[in-house]
């Protein structure tokens, strides 16, 4: 019983609950302006008042994020693989990738709408744009860090290049690829939210904009919490997948 209690006391959940209580108490005690720090209860109330819209927005942004992430991940892995095995492709195209990331995607949000219309695809493309690069870089790094001694060993068995790729290169690259995926999913969420600023009707990014324009401060907090929840959900999912599939440590 004692050990269980100790473990419960250490869990992060308790830290959150504790913080929530502290928040409520402070607000009620010091009564700061709600513009600066609204009470947690006020935030909850506001969330409840717009629940249907919030749910729809959550779902929509989630869809954009996941689609953009999926596209970026697949494209990134493919590019990373191609760049590993084709020197001239890496030399010519990879710098282009690097340069693309210095361009603030938000800057041509308007252009993206012109190119892809005010549609789901436009937001997905914004998310994709931020996702493919970290996945490419990490896939490249993962594949290149393949242990040359293990490669020599497989060669001594008479393995051909395909066998070496699937049985050795891919598994040894996976931990690094996961690192890239984790960075990518956070960026994908940012991409969706920002993409929604440029012409959308449903979504958390939209609600953020609306709240800002209408000066609804408490609503801002509601949307922030919703975004945070989505972020936590996505990271958690990825961590779960990682634990199951890629649990070994890379040897370097």
Partner 1 sequence: MKFMPHEVMPPAGAQAPGTAPPMLELVNVWKRFGEAQAQTVAVSGVNLRIAKSEFVTLVGPSGCGKSTLFNMIAGLLPPDDDGSLLFGGAPQRDGQLLGKVSFMPQRDLLFPWRTVLDNAILALEVEGTPRKEARERARAMLPEFGLAGFANHYPHQLSGGMRQRVALMRTFLFERDLMLLDEPFGALDALTRTRMQHWLLELWARHRRTVLFITHDIDEAILLGDKVLVMTARPGTVKSETVIDLPRPRDPSVVLTPEFIGLKQRLLAEIEEESQKTFAQEGTAS
Partner 2 sequence: MVAQRKLTASPVVPVVLGVAVLLVVWQGAIWLFKIPPFVLPSLGAIVQHAFTDTGRLMAALLATLGEAIGGYALGSVLGLLLAVVLLLAPPLERIVMPLAVAVNAVPTVAYAPLFLIWFGLGAASKIALVALAVGFTMLVNALHGLKQADQAAVNLMRSFGAGQMKIVWRLRLPVAMPSVVTALRIGVPRSMIVAIVGEMLGAYAGLGRMIYESTQQVDLLSVWSAVLVASVASMVFYGLLVWIDQKLVWWR
For residue 5, the number of C-alpha atoms closer than 13 Å in the C-beta half-sphere is 2
Which C-beta is closer to partner 2: that of 25 or that of 111?
111
Q: What does 163 interact with, of partner 2, partner 1, none (CB < 5 to 8 A by kind)?
A: partner 1
Interaction with partner 2 in 32-71: which residues (CB under 8 A)? 35-36
Q: What does 7 interact with, of partner 2, partner 1, none (CB < 5 to 8 A by kind)?
A: none
Among 163, 201, 233, 237, binds partner 1 (CB under 8 A): 163
Among 69, 83, 94, 129, binds partner 2 (CB under 8 A): 94
Q: How far is the CB of 86 from partner 2 (least distance, A)?
A: 15
Distance in angstroms (rounded) separating the CA atoms of residues 39 and 223: 15
Q: How far is the CB of 47 from partner 2 (least distance, A)?
A: 15
Which C-beta is closer to partner 1: that of 6 or that of 156?
156
Among 99, 152, 157, 251, binds partner 2 (CB under 8 A): 99
| Number of residues near partner 2 (by CB under 8 A) | 50
Handedness of CA 68, 70, 73, 75 (dihedral sign): negative
Q: What does 227 interact with, of partner 1, partner 2, none (CB < 5 to 8 A by kind)?
A: partner 2
Interaction with partner 2 in 189-248: which residues (CB under 8 A)? 189-190, 193-194, 204, 208, 211-212, 217, 220-221, 223-225, 227-232, 235
Kindly list the residues in this chain that would bind partner 2 in the complex (CB under 8 A).
10, 12, 15-16, 19, 35-36, 91-99, 101-108, 110-111, 114-115, 186, 189-190, 193-194, 204, 208, 211-212, 217, 220-221, 223-225, 227-232, 235
């Amino acid at each position: 019983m004692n050990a269980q209690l100790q473990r419960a006391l250490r869990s992060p959940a308790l830290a959150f609950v504790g913080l929530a209580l502290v928040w409520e108490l402070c607000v009620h005690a010091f009564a700061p302006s709600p513009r600066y720090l609204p009470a947690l209860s006020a935030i909850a109330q506001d969330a409840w008042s717009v629940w249907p819209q919030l749910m729809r927005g959550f779902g929509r942004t989630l869809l954009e994020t996941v689609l953009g992430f999926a596209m970026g991940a697949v494209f990134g892995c493919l590019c990373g693989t191609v760049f590993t095995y084709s020197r001239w492709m890496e030399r010519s195209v990879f710098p282009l990738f690097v340069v693309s990331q210095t361009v603030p995607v938000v800057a041509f949000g308007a252009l993206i709408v012109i190119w892809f219309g005010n549609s789901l695809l436009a937001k997905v493309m914004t998310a994709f744009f931020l996702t493919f690069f970290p996945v490419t870089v990490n896939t490249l790094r993962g594949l290149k860090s393949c242990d040359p001694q293990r490669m020599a060993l497989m060669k001594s068995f008479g393995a051909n290049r395909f066998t070496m790729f699937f049985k050795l290169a891919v598994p040894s690259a996976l931990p690094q690829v996961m690192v890239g995926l984790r960075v990518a999913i956070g960026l994908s969420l940012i991409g969706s939210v920002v993409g929604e600023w440029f012409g959308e009707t449903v979504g958390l990014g939209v609600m953020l904009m609306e709240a800002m324009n209408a000066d609804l401060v408490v609503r801002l907090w509601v949307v922030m919490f919703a975004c945070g929840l989505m972020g936590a959900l996505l990271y958690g999912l990825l961590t779960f997948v990682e634990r199951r599939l890629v649990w070994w440590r890379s040897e370097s």
